[in-house]
Amino acid sequence: MEIKILSARPEQMKKKPTDESNLGFGDIVTDHMFLMDFHEGKGWFNPRIEPYHSLSLDPAAMVLHYGQEVFEGLKAYRGKDGG
């Protein structure tokens, strides 16, 4: 399976961090991202690397529904101090 690569233009490139010993988590992203399509019956296809960009996500996506389900069974109780 061949992976198509679309390189970012110079103006799309991110600046390199000045202090690589203090990167943090989720603060720095790469210039590119891997994407691949899926279709039931066909499976995974069309692998590609593209410049970093926002993703489009259907509000009814199962990932959002499942995330909500994680909290469905939680209960809250008051402590002895009323908190």
pLDDT (0 to 100) of residue 20 = 86
Is 0.85 topped by the overall pTM? no
Sign (positive or negative) of CA dihedral 38, 61, 51, 15: negative
Mean pLDDT split into 10-residue runs, the chain, 83 residues: 93 87 84 95 97 88 65 67 76
pLDDT (0 to 100) of residue 57 = 86
**What's the 3-state SS for 12-77?**
HCCCCCCCCCCCCCCCCCCCEEEEEEEECCCEEEEEEEEECCCCCCCCCCHHHHHHHHCCCCCCCC
The residue ranges of every structural domain in the chain are: 4-54
